[in-house]
Structure 1
């Protein structure tokens, strides 16, 4: 898959495309049905499968929704889409000026002239153009005039996508990692840089890597202890992760700390992807550090049992 930052950088003079448009946050099972349809259709018709997505999320720009939480960072979404076999991912900067394009300008200048679109696969409820005043019937009419076909994704499938996204977000906020992972069809991931912490975990016999996530819009699951894995130096390592405030040692800021089993190395300043596999328990405030140490031992034993399965 070739990833292109901005429609103006998509230089295409020799082929036509099959396109779908959307945020595809999470790239979950519902999204994959649409994307598989796009990819299969493109292969069977000699077109290039192309996803047009936008960043920042339109709500961040138009509604100043700084509280919006997404399932993927842009890098994570790109990684997942790349694994599906798409030909092109175009990430276009979403701005107020872009949102003011008329429906005619969007279809003529973006879809037809820039992307050389021959087929569009899109949901029945898709709206576009300034103030989102054009719908799929308008798009079909444009296609008749400008020589491209529109395949409408029916209401049932679009509703499934919406329900899946909502269920995943709610499940993560409730700590139900099993449901979230089932809908995603992959382990929910956190990606960030390892920063130096207070070193308390090492004193307890459980040294931790402190994960700092730059993207404030990334949804962080409910506080608690989780079983995780990650690839370090081309090897897979398992461990347990705490999300929370470390109340036993009077922590005041939320942190993400990972204790890798059987790993001895320096991770500071390294970028890591942490895959969340299971949830063990809520975060608790223990009466003493000794009680916390004993609980950490139990957490590790439970983690190893889950990993062995």
Structure 2
């Protein structure tokens, strides 16, 4: 898959394309149906499959919604789409100026002239153009005039996508990682850089990698202890992760700390992806460090039991 930063950088006009448009946050099972249809349609028609997405999220720009939480960072979404077999991902900067394009300008100048679209696969409720005043019937009319086909995704499938997104967010906020992973069809991931912490975990006999996630819009699941997996140097490493404030040692700042099993190397400064597999328990304030240590031993055994099963 080739990732293109901005429509103006999509310069190869030697082929025509099949396109779908959207934020595709989470790239979950509902999205998977749409993307599978896109990729198969493109192959059967001799076209290149293209996802046109936007960043920042339109709500961040138009509604100044700085509190919006997304299931994927842009890097994570790119990795997932690439694994699906997509030909091109176009990530176009979403700005107020871009939002003011008329429906005609968007279809003619971008979809047809820039991306060479011959087929668009889109939801029945898709709206586009300035003030989102054009709908799928308008798009079909544009297709008849500008020589491209529109395939409408039925209401039921679009509703499935919406329901999946809502259920995933709710599940993560409630700590139900099993349900979230079921709807995603892959383990929910956190990606960040390992930073130095206070070293308290090492003192307790459970050294931790402190994960710093720079993308503040990334949805962080409910505080608590999770079983996790990460991969680097072509090897899988399992561990347990705490999201929270470390109340037993009077922690003031929320942190994400992972104790990897069977690993004693140095991860400082490395960017890693952590897959969340299970949630063990809530974060608790223990009466003493000794009680915390005993609980961590139990958590480790619980994690190992879940991993082995």
TM-score range for the pair, normalised by the shorter chain length: over 0.9
Quote the Cα distance in structure 2 between the aligned partners of 1:38 and 1:101. Answer: 25
Residues 58-90 of structure 1: per-residue CA shift (max 9 Å, x gap): 000000000000000000000000000000000
Deviation at 1:234, TM superposition (A): 1.9
Q: What residue ranges of structure 2 are gaps of 5+ in the alignment?
A: none
In the TM superposition, 1:147-226 aligns within 5 A as 147-226=147-226
Helix, strand or coil: the match of 1:276? Answer: strand
Helix, strand or coil: the match of 2:84? Answer: coil
Quote the Cα distance in structure 2 between the aligned partners of 1:232 and 1:293. Answer: 28
| Contact 1:27 1:77 survives alignment (8 Å) | yes
| Contact 1:188 1:275 survives alignment (8 Å) | yes
| Contact 1:241 1:257 survives alignment (8 Å) | yes
Deviation at 1:14, TM superposition (A): 1.0
Helix, strand or coil: the match of 1:269? Answer: coil
Deviation at 1:134, TM superposition (A): 0.3
Residues 260-280 of structure 1: per-residue CA shift (max 9 Å, x gap): 000010100000000000000
Deviation at 1:166, TM superposition (A): 0.3
Counterpart of 1:17 in structure 2 is 17
Quote the Cα distance in structure 2 between the aligned partners of 1:132 and 1:73. Answer: 25
Quote the Cα distance in structure 1 between the aligned partners of 2:238 and 2:278. Answer: 11
Quote the Cα distance in structure 1 between the aligned partners of 2:269 and 2:203. Answer: 21
TM-score using structure 2 length: 1.00
Q: What residue ranges of structure 1 are gaps of 5+ in the alignment?
A: none
Quote the Cα distance in structure 1 between the aligned partners of 2:80 and 2:154. Answer: 24
Please tell me the root mean square deviation across aligned C-alpha atoms, in Å.
Answer: 0.4
Quote the Cα distance in structure 1 between the aligned partners of 2:307 and 2:6. Answer: 42
Structure 1 stretches of at least 4 aligned residues deviating more than 6 Å after TM superposition: none
Counterpart of 1:102 in structure 2 is 102
Quote the Cα distance in structure 2 between the aligned partners of 1:39 and 1:49. Answer: 6
TM-score using structure 1 length: 1.00
Residues 197-234 of structure 1: per-residue CA shift (max 9 Å, x gap): 00000000000000000000000000000000101322
Quote the Cα distance in structure 2 between the aligned partners of 1:29 and 1:80. Answer: 12
Q: Does 1:254 align with 2:257?
A: no
